[in-house]
Amino acid sequence: MRNNLSWSLIIMGVLLTLSGIILRFVGAEVLKIPFVRMDLVPIAVSFCGILLFVMSGSAIIHEKYKTKRQHIEENDERNIIINQNAKSKAFDLMTTLFSFGLLALAMFGYMNKVSFFTLIGLFLICQVYWGYQFLTNTKKM
pLDDT at residue number 2: 63
CA 11 to chain CA centroid, nearest Å: 17
pLDDT at residue number 4: 77
pLDDT at residue number 46: 92
pLDDT at residue number 17: 93
Phi, psi of 126 (to 5 degrees): -65, -40
Phi, psi of 27 (to 5 degrees): 110, 135
Write out pLDDT tens, residues 99-130.
Answer: 898 888 888 888 888 888 888 999 999 899 98
Write out pLDDT tens, residues 2-51.
Answer: 667 888 889 999 999 999 898 888 877 777 777 778 888 888 889 999 99
pLDDT at residue number 6: 80
Q: What is the CA radius of gyration of the chain?
A: 20
pLDDT at residue number 60: 85
pLDDT at residue number 54: 92
Q: Which residues contact 27 (CB under 8 A, 6 or more apart)?
A: 38
Phi, psi of 35 (to 5 degrees): -80, 150
pLDDT at residue number 18: 92
pLDDT at residue number 12: 92
pLDDT at residue number 71: 72
| Length in residues, the chain | 141
Write out pLDDT tens, residues 68-102.
Answer: 777 777 777 888 888 888 888 888 888 888 889 88
